[in-house]
Amino acid sequence: MTTLPTAVVVVNGFGLLFAILNTFALGLRLPFGRLLARFFAQWQIAVWVLVINFIIIPLLFIGYVLTIASSIPSEIKVGFCVAALCAGMPFAPLLARVARADVATATSLLAALTVVTVIVAPLGLPLAVAAVDSQLRVSTWDVAWPLLLFLLLPLALGCLFRVRWPDLAPHVRRWVSPFAILCLLLNMNFTFYAFWNLFVQTWETHSYLAAIADPFIGLGCGFLLVTILRVKDVRVRHATETTTAIRNIAAMLLVVIFPFGAYPLVTVSITALNTFGIVVVLIFALEWRHALSRSGARAKTKAKTKEETPPDTAMGAASATG
């Protein structure tokens, strides 16, 4: 029993470090001019991504816990509400690079989703929590202050660092991003260690079905969006799907650590969502990369075959036609 409080402190510490460092690294990546140009050039995609992430997916999540999954513990329902209102896959640029997708599109969409999350989550989460658990109360400020201090401020500092030291920013990002990923991995591993019994108990409630479905819902919504808008660029399609696939892990961790730190099942539900989501989206990213490699290899083969066609064969064919 004496090790549990220490483990929880370690869990929260690594989660907080991940949120700060990952968002700071995102700020180091953001060129304002090109970001705005990309956003307005793809304004239809951007607007619909916001609609999907802050209207459609929250309605699906909250509707699920109020109807189909009404019997699961209320703390797990609260965790799903937190996930529903925190949008923006924090590894979207990295996974876009893995999938050979459009990194600029993924970055601009992630930045927009992160900023809107800071506005929407404090306004919507108290209402959502009250709907799924009438005994639990959380105020707008309880949700807002950690997002402002540990999400929006590091993002702004990263942007300012890039403006002030543009040549140094890429080098700093190369160190900050891997360390942020390491902090997340340690956070998840210590969470499993500290709350393993709760993970086992949660399995018996069938709550993992929602955690497994989460990335597929995001990927499916992204696929429908780029299909309806008839986006032909495969790299832009995959960047959009990647960004909508998983919720904002950094924002979720901040909300779990501060307003809901006394409710361990909220932490358990968030960790399950993040674990399944990262694995599923990474598999999709690797498959997209492999598919692009195959198509690129076929295109090169065709081009090489065309170049190696003997000129006299073409002339003979022309003579025969004449």
Mean pLDDT of the chain: 87
pLDDT digits (tens, 9 = 90+) for 88-134: 988 888 999 999 999 988 988 998 999 999 999 999 999 999 988 87
% of residues, the chain, pLDDT over 70:
89
Residue where the block lists tokens 């109807």: 67
- 298 falls in which pLDDT band (50, 70, 90)? low
Q: Looking at residue 1, what is its pLDDT?
A: 42
Residue of 1 and 101 predicted with greater confidence: 101
Q: How many residues does the chain have?
A: 322
Could you write out the three-class secondary structure of the chain?
CCHHHHHHHHHHHHHHHHHHHHHHHHHHHCCHHHHHHHHHHCHHHHHHHHHHHHHHHHHHHHHHHHCCCCCCCHHHHHHHHHHHHCECCCCHHHHHHHCCCCHHHHHHHHHHHHHHHHHHHHHHHHHHHHHHCCCCCCCHHHHHHHHHHHHHHHHHHHHHHHHHCCCCHHHHHHHHHHHHHHHHHHHHHHHHHHCHHHHHHHHCCCCHHHHHHHHHHHHHHHHHHHHHCCCCCHHHHHHHHHHHHCECHHHHHHHHHCCCCCCHHHHHHHHHHHHHHHHHHHHHHHHHHHHHHHHHHHHHHHHHHHHCCCHHHHHHHHHHHC
Q: Looking at residue 201, what is its pLDDT?
A: 84
pLDDT digits (tens, 9 = 90+) for 50-75: 999 999 999 998 888 888 777 788 89
Alpha-carbon span 51 to 277, nearest angstrom: 21
Q: Looking at residue 139, what is its pLDDT?
A: 94
% of residues, the chain, pLDDT over 90:
61
Q: How many CA atoms lie within 13 A of 257 on its CB side?
A: 25
CATH class of 3-321: mainly alpha
pLDDT at 83 over 90: yes
Contact 105, 42 (CB under 8 A): yes
* Domain layout of the chain by residue ranges: 3-321
Residue of 249 and 36 predicted with greater confidence: 249
Average pLDDT over residues 222-229: 93
Residue among 190, 185, 202 nearest 269 (CA): 202
pLDDT at 2 over 70: no
Q: Looking at residue 300, what is its pLDDT?
A: 59
pTM of the model: 0.87
Contact 211, 276 (CB under 8 A): yes
Cα 153 to its chain centre, rounded Å, is 19
Residue 101 sits at φ, ψ, to 5 deg, of -90, -175
pLDDT at 30 over 90: no
